[in-house]
A and B are shown apart, each in its own frame.
Chain A
Amino acid sequence: DAKTTQPPSMDCAEGRAANLPCNHSTISGNEYVYWYRQIHSQGPQYIIHGLKNNETNEMASLIITEDRKSSTLILPHATLRDTAVYYCIVSLTSGTYKYIFGTGTRLKVLA
């Protein structure tokens, strides 16, 4: 089973920030938090990852709480093309690296 909990769906107005929460209360010290998204039935697409510190790249920002039990993915200016299912995944930093996908959050960006 996935080690993360996400709301099943969210709406966001175009141009506004989309904040997608994820609960991973059983995360261990050697596990990273990864975010991927899946647009329609395409292959999942990597967005961002983090271990302890907040991270930002050209796609998004990732805020991880100090106790690491939850995180938030922020899309700063959502566009219609950001409509997708967003998956939060925790995975070991060493070993098989297999991902266990949950059901994710279906984000709908509204015009």
Chain B
Amino acid sequence: EPEVTQTPSHQVTQMGQEVILRCVPISNHLYFYWYRQILGQKVEFLVSFYNNEISEKSEIFDDQFSVERPDGSNFTLKIRSTKLEDSAMYFCASSEVDIILAYEKLFFGSGTQLSVL
């Protein structure tokens, strides 16, 4: 079964450093997402991306965050200057949207655990 792939699985960085989290969505999907989950807390929406632009973003997704689809396969999340509170598991997802029935199924990757020291 096709799957969403995320790299690296763990990333340790110093506060103030830039990090890039990488994702390879499922190949025929058109909608892409980033979510995050701080240890012991809920899964939180960060941003959705379609047709090479952001379609929606949450309050968490401030100017320190950016997303890019640099080529036809990768989808990246960049955090410009990491803070301690950015430590979390970051999940990439892509979706298969049924245009006629208008529902979607999200397929999530296994996540990147980001630790900011």
Binding site for B on A (CB under 8 A): 2, 32, 36, 38, 41-46, 49, 51, 87, 93-94, 96-103
Residue B60 is within 8 A (CB to CB) of chain A in the complex: no
Interface presence of B75 (CB below 8 A): no
Task: Indicate if B115 sits at the interface (CB-CB under 8 A).
Answer: no
Chain B residue with minimal CB distance to A97?
Answer: B104
Q: A43-B109, A44-B106 are in contact. Are A97 and B44 (CB under 8 A)?
A: no
User: Chain A residue with minimal CB distance to B44?
Assistant: A101
The secondary structure that dominates the B interface is strand
Which of B11-19, B63-71, B78-86, B90-98 lies at the interface with chain A? B90-98
Chain A interface helix/strand/loop/mixed: loop
**B22 smallest CB distance to A (angstroms):** 15
**CB-based contact A46/B48 at 8 Å:** no
Partner of A41, one of B31, B89, B97: B89
Contact status B55-A46, CB under 8 Å = no
B111 touches A42 (CB 8 A): yes
Set B55, B106, B107: member contacting A99, Cβ < 8 A: B106
Select A44's contact among B44, B48, B91, B102, beta carbons within 8 Å: B91
Say yes or no: B56 contacts A96, CB within 8 Å: yes
Could you say which residues of chain A place their CB within 8 Å of the CB of B4?
43
Q: In the docked arrangement, what's the CA distance between A46 and B113, Å?
A: 21
Complex contacts, B110 vs chain A, CB 8 Å: 42-43
Chain A residues whose CB sits within 8 angstroms of the CB of B97 once the complex forms = 97
Closest to B91 in A: A43
A-B contact list, 9 entries, CB within 8 Å: A32-B103, A41-B89, A43-B91, A43-B109, A43-B110, A93-B102, A97-B106, A101-B43, A102-B42
Partner of B102 from the list A41, A43, A94, A102 (CB cut-off 8 Å) is A94
Q: A46-B107, A98-B48, A101-B44 are in contact. List 6 more A-B contacts (CB 8 A).
A: A32-B103, A42-B110, A43-B4, A44-B91, A101-B43, A102-B42
